[in-house]
Amino acid sequence: MPKTPATAVRTYTVSLGCPKNRVDTERLLGALGPHMVPADDAAGADLVLINTCGFIQPAVEESVATILDVIGEAAETFDRTGRRPLICVAGCLVSRYGEDLRSELPEVDLWLNTEEIEQWPAMAARALALRLTGDTPRSLSTGPSYAYLKVSEGCSHNCRFCTIPSIRGPHRSWPVDFLLNEARLLAGQVPEIIVVGQDSTAYGSDLGPGNDLPTLLRGLAAIPDLHWLRIMYLYPAGLTESLLGLLRDTGAPFLPYFDIPLQHAHPDVLASMGRPFARNPEKVVERVRRFFPEAALRTTFIVGYPGETEAHFRTLMDFVRETRFHHLGVFPYWAEEGTPAAAMDGQVPDEVKLDRRDRLMALQAEISAEILEGYVGATLPVVIERESDEWPGLYVGRAWFQAPEVDGVTYVGAPPETALRPGDILDVEIEKADTYDLSGLV
DSSP 38-105: E-SSGGG-SEEEEEE--SSHHHHHHHHHHHHHHHHHHHHHHHHHS--PEEEEEEHHHHHHHHHHHHH-
Tell which wins on pLDDT, 330 or 143: 330
Structural domains of the chain, ranges and CATH numbers in brackets: 9-128 (3.40.50.12160), 146-373 (3.80.30.20), 379-441 (2.40.50.140)
314-331 tens-digit pLDDT: 999 999 999 999 999 999
**pLDDT for residue 6 is more than 60:** no
**E strand residue ranges, 197-325:** 228-231, 254-259, 296-303
**pLDDT for residue 436 is more than 80:** yes
Q: What is the DSSP letter of 263?
A: B
The separation between CA 77 and the C-alpha centre of its own chain, rounded to angstroms, equals 33
Helix (H, G, I), strand (E, B) or coil at 316: helix
Amino acid at 320: V
- Residue 88 annotated as binding site: no
pLDDT at 2: 45
**pLDDT for residue 5 is more than 80:** no
157-197 tens-digit pLDDT: 889 999 999 889 999 999 999 999 999 999 999 999 999 99
Output the pTM of the full model.
0.93
CA–CA dist 281, 267 (Å, integer): 8
**333-342 average pLDDT score:** 93
**pLDDT for residue 3 is more than 50:** no
